[in-house]
Amino acid sequence: MDRGDYVKAATVFQTLATEGNAQAQYNLGLMTEKGRGVPRDYVGAVSLYQLAAAQGKAEAQRNLGIMYRDGLGVPKDPVRAYMWLNLGAAESAANAADYRDAIAKTMKPEQIALAQKLGNECKQRGLKGCDSPQGARAAGSATATPEAQ
């Protein structure tokens, strides 16, 4: 695909994403993360993935986990990474379980338990507010990175 095709696709996806189309939000998030057809913007990609993930788009949940794992557009946070990867894996997103299992090897048992708790509470809220500070407060805890412990 040449650059012009990406620009055209981004325009179409932007319209659909604004209308709330989860697939378009995911596609535009991927293009924004990679800088294809739009400027690379990790924060913008995270925002688009969050919108799609809140609608149950498993691939967006997986990609959010990767963004938290790598600290792209969000602070590096293994608990949030595990949470999103686990949610994506539960919906059969490609490689999400492998990524989740890999990050789990770097985490303490209490961090994994917290990630699972946050994920369960996120599902109970219909996947809404899962990344917001309010969502963490609603879950009764905040995430903790290894550096903070």
Q: Domains along the chain?
A: 3-142 (1.25.40.10)
Q: What is the DSSP string of 3-48?
A: HHHHHHHHHHHHHHHHTT-HHHHHHHHHHHHHTSSS---HHHHHHH
Average pLDDT over residues 27-54: 97
The pTM assigned to this predicted structure is 0.87
Q: What is the pLDDT confidence band of residue 2, given thresholds at 50, 70 and 90? A: low
What local confidence, expressed as pLDDT, does residue 131 receive? Answer: 84
Q: CA-CA distance, 15 to 122, in Å (whole number)?
A: 28
Mean pLDDT of the chain: 89
Q: CA-CA distance, 30 to 32, in Å (whole number)?
A: 5
Q: What is the pLDDT confidence band of residue 133, given thresholds at 50, 70 and 90? A: low
Q: CA-CA distance, 112 to 64, in Å (whole number)?
A: 17
Q: Is the pLDDT of residue 141 over 50?
A: no
93-116 burial string, b = 16+ CB within 10 Å, else e? beebbebbeebbeebeeebbebbe
Q: CA-CA distance, 101 to 107, in Å (whole number)?
A: 10
Average pLDDT over residues 52-61: 97
Q: CA-CA distance, 127 to 131, in Å (whole number)?
A: 9
